[in-house]
Amino acid sequence: MTTGAFLGIDGGGSTTVARLEDGPGAEVFERATGSTNPHTTPFPQVQARFDELLAGCPPPDAAAICLAGMSRAATRDRVGSWFRDRFPTAVLRLEPDYAAALRCFDPEPAICVIAGTGSVVCSRAAGGALVMSGGTGYGSDPGSASRLGRALVDRYADDPGAVDDLGPAIDAVLGTHREGEGVAAAAPVLCGAAAAGHEWALTLVADEMDELAALAVTHSERHCRDADLTVGLVGGVWSSAATRATFARSLRARHGAPVTFVPAVHTPQRAAVLLAREAAP
């Protein structure tokens, strides 16, 4: 379909981005808001954020809504009902956020490792269905911003002198929030300390990245047929060179066969638009 309007929404654990494109692929509308994960945010707040996100957005002909927590049928029904009321003539595609993450690559890698507020490893099965590992919930996903931030906050709470001179920076990002998004916001402080060569920070990051690498290897052994592994990385955690390098070392050591990291060619919101285009008649 080369005419019409196509809406993609990518919603992770902390940020949701909507993008509308016309038929040739030009941007018509793009806006961001906070988390719209129905499992961690009360649904009235999710609805309010959708209203904020889509204010002024022209109606699409097709829309792909890719949200964290969308793997459950009841959640898809609830979110789908809201979007059908909002855009009654649009063709809707409802997917978990990792569907958009995997579509960021062309061709798709053997596995995609998503590390944002939470973490997930996903891939496409032989029959075309998406399969995933991890994503067990806030605070329990290895290598996620939530876990990295929690590791730093716990170290700081146990011994304020054990984080060198980073106490003020930790306090600044946390504010009064010791749980929720505030803890995940401490992850860049830890990653920055690791990049600066602080040994204690490198150890904390290495522990998390090794656990995430173990999950990636288990997933690949279960779902991937080729020993040589292509890997795509999506999510804010990978903006840190320290996390990428540490994860790569752990994954190569654990996998024991060639591992190739491939770059994304689309943002997740653009990938969601592509999913919407595929859904259009």
Reported as a single tens digit per residue, the pLDDT across 142-152 is 999 999 999 99
Higher pLDDT among residues 3 and 246, named by residue:
246
Residue 18 burial (CB count, 10 A): 25
**In this structure, are 76 and 139 located in the same domain?**
no
**In this structure, are 91 and 126 located in the same domain?**
no
Q: pLDDT tens digit string along 116-129?
A: 999 999 999 988 89
**In this structure, are 24 and 50 located in the same domain?**
yes
**In this structure, are 245 and 134 located in the same domain?**
yes
Specify the number of domains making up the chain: 2
Q: What residues make up the domain containing 128? A: 111-262
Q: Which long-range contacts (CB under 8 A, 24 or more apart) does 152-159 make?
A: 152/186, 152/187, 152/189, 152/190, 152/201, 152/204, 153/178, 153/183, 153/186, 155/200, 155/204
**In this structure, are 179 and 91 located in the same domain?**
no
pTM summary value: 0.94
**In this structure, are 34 and 134 located in the same domain?**
no
**In this structure, are 133 and 254 located in the same domain?**
yes
**In this structure, are 61 and 166 located in the same domain?**
no
**In this structure, are 66 and 127 located in the same domain?**
no
**In this structure, are 14 and 56 located in the same domain?**
yes
Q: How does the average pLDDT of the chain come out, rounded?
A: 93
**In this structure, are 32 and 136 located in the same domain?**
no
**In this structure, are 99 and 224 located in the same domain?**
no
Q: pLDDT tens digit string along 163-182?
A: 999 999 999 988 855 545 67
- Measuring CA to CA, how many Å separate 281 from each of 2, 23, 27, 58, 63? 11, 13, 21, 19, 12
CATH number of the domain enclosing 56: 3.30.420.40
